[in-house]
Structure 1
Amino acid sequence: MTTPDDLPAPDDARARLRAADADRELVHQILSAAVERGSLTLSEYEERAGRAVAAKTFGELDALTDDLPVGQLGVPMPFVGETTVSRVAPPSGRRPIQHRFALMSGTELRGNVPVGDGLTATAVMGGIDIDLREVEFTAPQLTIRCTALMGGIDITVPPDVGVDVNGWAVMGGFGGRAAGPGAPGAPTVRVVGLALMGAVEVKRKDREPRR
């Protein structure tokens, strides 16, 4: 008869692995989606988001989401071997930019870089500047999933691109006056997410003349 002492110890190798910024960003996406769904209260979100910022291992991150219905929250989950989320291969052969993360700092996305059908932007007490006027669109629709926790995300789009803004703000702001249709055949930029004591602003601006 097998006793508990005979059973193998649980494998906690993954729990001890060091987490990266992209892993912490994914947890923030899950937590913000849980708030929108009603699975977490705002106070619970704030407490867990703070712990996610300080988390160093996968075990610490897993503890923040193991009681949430992650599969029902609509957050795209990465898998081993994934190389891109773009539906259309970029003509240049470059991999589309997928993430921007700012923790008590600032970062930006601008210039002639490829973007696919999905981009996540997470600003925690920091700022992110996303300028899409010169990027290489490789999919008909780009969805930008924003989380601004006591931070700011500024998104600039060219005048010919369609824009759909559908976010949620708590003691902050989410929007701008950029929403509207674009030129025929132009891509659409969809901006969704959550601003908690922060701001997400979308604006249209003409492209700068080429020198």
Structure 2
Amino acid sequence: MSDLEPREVRASDADREQTHTVLSAAMTAGALTPEEYSQRANAAAVARTRADLDMLTHDLPLEQLGVRPAEVSLAKTRVNSSGRSPITSATAIFGGRRVGGRAAVGTSLTATAIMGGVEIDLRDVEYTAPVLELHCRAIMGGIEVTVPHDVTVEVRGIGIMGGFDSRAEGPGRDGAPAVVVSGFALMGGVDVKRRDRDS
């Protein structure tokens, strides 16, 4: 299950109910005709994956329906565990290192960039703990951290003749994991940003 893309995961009853809520709101607002609603509702009832459900709502004006996209996203960031060992460190010395994709992360991850660069993309990783402590050390190097929009982000790092960007700091969706970024940037930089999964 952990090797699947988020949308390839089988749909649960809660996922189907969430989709029905959106479809009902769309019919009430006139975005769907009663016939279209009936067709999509029937398809939602027998949908096998989250991708199947996503296809039933992707063309609807969610904001106009008074429903936030984060509430109906079928690729929500969740905490689960496949049993794989999480990555605990990423080091780049005069070079580069990247962590992302389907990698598993746990309670702690240390990133060190010495005259090099570390890229940590947390949008599609497997979170195995509710809080990930990301310890950054950038010495004449750079660390770039990318997080999905629905996680909580805290930035506690300091810059010493360098920069520690905290613009991505803020609350996320209830139930989603939290990422706490700490450490220091000495004549280097740590950049934390939020991006959509598809961007």
Fold-level match, TM-score > 0.5? yes
Q: Does 1:137 align with 2:103?
A: no
Q: Distance in 2 between matches of 1:133 and 1:181?
A: 16
Q: Report the residue type matching 2:122 in the other structure.
A: L
Q: Distance in 1 between matches of 2:81 and 2:197?
A: 22
Aligned counterpart in structure 2 of residue 206 of structure 1, from 177, 180, 196: 196
Partner of 2:7: none
Q: Judge conservation of contact 2:81–2:127 (CA < 8 Å) in 1.
A: no
Q: Does 1:107 align with 2:103?
A: no
Post-superposition shift, 1:176? Answer: 3.4
Partner of 1:97: 87
Q: Distance in 2 between matches of 1:208 and 1:176?
A: 23
Q: Report the residue type matching 1:138 in the other structure.
A: T
Q: Judge conservation of contact 2:87–2:106 (CA < 8 Å) in 1.
A: yes
Aligned counterpart in structure 1 of residue 139 of structure 2, from 122, 144, 149: 149
Q: Judge conservation of contact 2:117–2:142 (CA < 8 Å) in 1.
A: yes
% identical aligned pairs: 55
User: Secondary structure of the residue that 2:156 maps to in structure 1?
Assistant: strand
Q: Distance in 2 between matches of 1:135 and 1:186?
A: 13
Post-superposition shift, 1:117? Answer: 0.5
Q: Which runs of 5+ in 2 are unaligned?
A: 1-78
Q: Judge conservation of contact 2:156–2:182 (CA < 8 Å) in 1.
A: yes
User: Secondary structure of the residue that 2:83 maps to in structure 1?
Assistant: coil
Q: Judge conservation of contact 1:90–1:96 (CA < 8 Å) in 2.
A: no
Cα RMSD (Å) of the superposition? 1.4
- Shift of the 112–202 alpha-carbon distance from structure 1 to 2, 3 Å rule, reads same
Could you give the per-residue CA deviations for residues 20-59 of structure 1, whole angstroms, max 9, x where no partner exists? xxxxxxxxxxxxxxxxxxxxxxxxxxxxxxxxxxxxxxxx
Q: Does 1:123 align with 2:110?
A: no
Q: Report the residue type matching 2:159 in the other structure.
A: A
Q: Distance in 1 between matches of 2:150 and 2:189?
A: 24
Q: Distance in 1 between matches of 2:180 and 2:156?
A: 8
Q: Distance in 1 between matches of 2:168 and 2:80?
A: 26
Could you give the per-residue CA deviations for residues 122-155 of structure 1, whole angstroms, max 9, x where no partner exists? 0000000000000000101000000000000000
Count of aligned residue pairs for this structure pair: 121
Post-superposition shift, 1:90? Answer: 6.0
How is 1:2-21 mapped onto 2 (pairs within 5 angstroms)? Answer: none
Q: Does 1:184 align with 2:174?
A: yes
Could you give the per-residue CA deviations for residues 149-179 of structure 1, whole angstroms, max 9, x where no partner exists? 0000000000000000011111110023100
Deviant stretches of 4+, over 6 Å: none
Partner of 2:75: none
Post-superposition shift, 1:208? Answer: 1.5
What's the TM-score, normalizing by structure 1?
0.56
Q: Judge conservation of contact 1:154–1:202 (CA < 8 Å) in 2.
A: yes
User: Secondary structure of the residue that 2:134 maps to in structure 1?
Assistant: strand
Q: Distance in 2 between matches of 1:188 and 1:137?
A: 10
